[in-house]
Structure 1
Amino acid sequence: MTVLLLLLLCVPACLAASEGVAGDNEPKRCDWGADTVVIAPPGMSALVLGGTGAVGHHIVQQLLASDQWSRVITVGRREVALPEGQPGASKLQQVVVDMDALQAQAGGSFSGVDAVFCALGTTRSDAGSAEVFKKVDHEYVAAAAAAAQAAGVPYFGLVSAAGANAGLPSADWRLLHPLLYTRTKGLAEEAVKGQGFARAGIFRPGMLDRGDKARAIEKWFAPLTGAIPVADVAKAMVADAAAFKAGSRDRPEGV
């Protein structure tokens, strides 16, 4: 168990590439950098789930600040708190729902958007049980993907994790089981892929640098692993969606 924990913590903290699933369902590797700039048509609209989390909060802020996105919707259990003076704040529409009734309460919010960004996730300590962890990190993601597909959304971006693997051997997935996290993330990925989006951007970062929100263990390991700032993950996701809208299926070298 200790060896496995060290291996998981030492996963390279690059984006581990986003895995874009095109219409032919063949994975396509694309490495977006933090400095990537994509020229896309103005007037795009987006819906964000998990906007109160570390990555999701930055996705919301970057979408609002961009002139390319004219409408931004957040869907979640509570509203996203914006920093004072947030550029583009007037573009934001917030929808508060019971995540167990996502389709019934917010299905209409998915209609007409160009991209859905899903940054749903919790920690095992916050979840309190394996059942709650799996509900948030897998079942809610699956429900979001289904709602997006039902509304005809062409792009779905998912924050996953390095090492995600739905094929890990089944077991009694207790909260402290060392493979609970990676298997659950893998199942969430499969749920998204199974919806057949025109493009599904699945991002697998390693250790994340959550800045002021970082837990003690994250702050300790961050210098050792080269943790990637959550803002960079958000920027890569927004760039991938914009590139898809712009019709750029082939990603430039070194990006």
Structure 2
Amino acid sequence: MTKRKANMIKVNNMSSEGITALVLGATGEVGKSLVQELLKNAAFSRIIVVGRRKLDLEDEKVENRIVDFEKLDEHKEAFQDAQVGFCCLGTTRGKAGAKGFVRVDRDYVSQSAKFLKEGGCSHFHLISSQGANKNSTFLYTKTKGETEDLVKEVGFPRLSIYRPALLLCDREESRPLEKIAQIVVRGFDWRNKISIPTYTVANAMVANTLDSQATVKSEETKVEIFENNDILRLGID
């Protein structure tokens, strides 16, 4: 029996009702992989999907909660009842513009985290980025760093931050430059030093949730940060 399977059994024994998880960004590539992992894992009995539109998925374990992220104060109830929260929410500067990118990746995320904490969530998972740094001169890594700090301030009993490298996936939306980068990287990064499949990130988040032996690196702030290599170790059986 693998360590992960053993931990799943431990978690199942802890609660006959199973775990209620809430997912933000379920229509994105990591989010879609995550939902699939949660669906097939018996440790999770309920999956709350919060988003702007209903997830195109029919399953008795899934509950869709539609919100307007521009009016999140009016949707606090959508963030109730979850024991574990997963945030895969994000956009791009090319799609939303600089201000729109910051609005989604920083403001929506930090505000949602606040409401989740108020709603009783005890473990929050945040997808950030390799190189996240609030002092960075680059908008993307700067915004990710600012988001990490804002979520830390929320004060979750346990906060897990993931900093993946280039995400490898087959997106439905067109991102020409990213597609070219993925093709190049797939050719030589076979050890995933500068890239990582989206399903591996999803696997890592689920494994970390179920690992009853997991400990945070800072008892004071209750925060654990997983760099790309850490995510690979967690996400691969």
Distance 1:151 1:237 in 2: 21
Q: Does 1:228 align with 2:172?
A: no
Any residues of structure 2 matched to 1:216-255 within 5 Å, and which? 216-223=179-186, 224-225=188-189, 226=192, 227-243=195-211, 246=212, 248-249=214-215, 255=234
Distance 1:216 1:240 in 2: 29
**1:71 alignment partner, SS class:** strand
Distance 1:110 1:143 in 2: 11
**1:194 alignment partner, SS class:** helix
Distance 1:97 1:113 in 2: 16
1:118 to 84, 87, 112: 87
Distance 2:140 2:64 in 1: 29
TM-score, with structure 2 as normaliser? 0.78
TM-score, with structure 1 as normaliser? 0.73
Unaligned runs of 5+ in 2: 218-229
Encode CA deviations 1:79-120: one digit per residue, 9 max, x unaligned. 2223xxx8xx21100111111122422x22322211000011
Aligned to 2:141: 182
Aligned to 2:69: 99
Encode CA deviations 1:143-185: one digit per residue, 9 max, x unaligned. 111111111210000110000001236xxxxxxxxx0000001
Distance 1:196 1:233 in 2: 24
Deviation at 1:206, TM superposition (A): 0.3
**Partner letter of residue 192 of structure 1?**
V
**Partner letter of residue 53 of structure 1?**
G
Deviation at 1:212, TM superposition (A): 4.9
Distance 2:216 2:111 in 1: 29
Distance 2:35 2:112 in 1: 17
Any residues of structure 2 matched to 1:149-188 within 5 Å, and which? 149-168=117-136, 179-188=138-147
Encode CA deviations 1:13-34: one digit per residue, 9 max, x unaligned. xxxxxxxxxxxxxxxxxxxxxx
Deviation at 1:68, TM superposition (A): 0.5
Q: Does 1:72 align with 2:53?
A: no
Distance 1:102 1:58 in 2: 25
Give the stretch that moved more between structures: 144-153 or 133-142: 144-153
Task: Tell me the percent identity.
Answer: 37
Distance 1:140 1:250, change over 3 A: closer
CA contact 1:154–1:199 (8 Å) conserved in 2: yes
Distance 1:168 1:211 in 2: 29
Distance 2:80 2:62 in 1: 16
Distance 1:36 1:212 in 2: 29
Higher RCO (CA-CA < 8 Å; seq separation 6+): 1
Unaligned runs of 5+ in 1: 1-34, 170-178
CA contact 1:36–1:236 (8 Å) conserved in 2: no
**Matched length:** 202
Structure whose residues are more often helix by fraction: 2
Encode CA deviations 1:201-253: one digit per residue, 9 max, x unaligned. 1000001111354742233233244321101101101111222xx464279x9
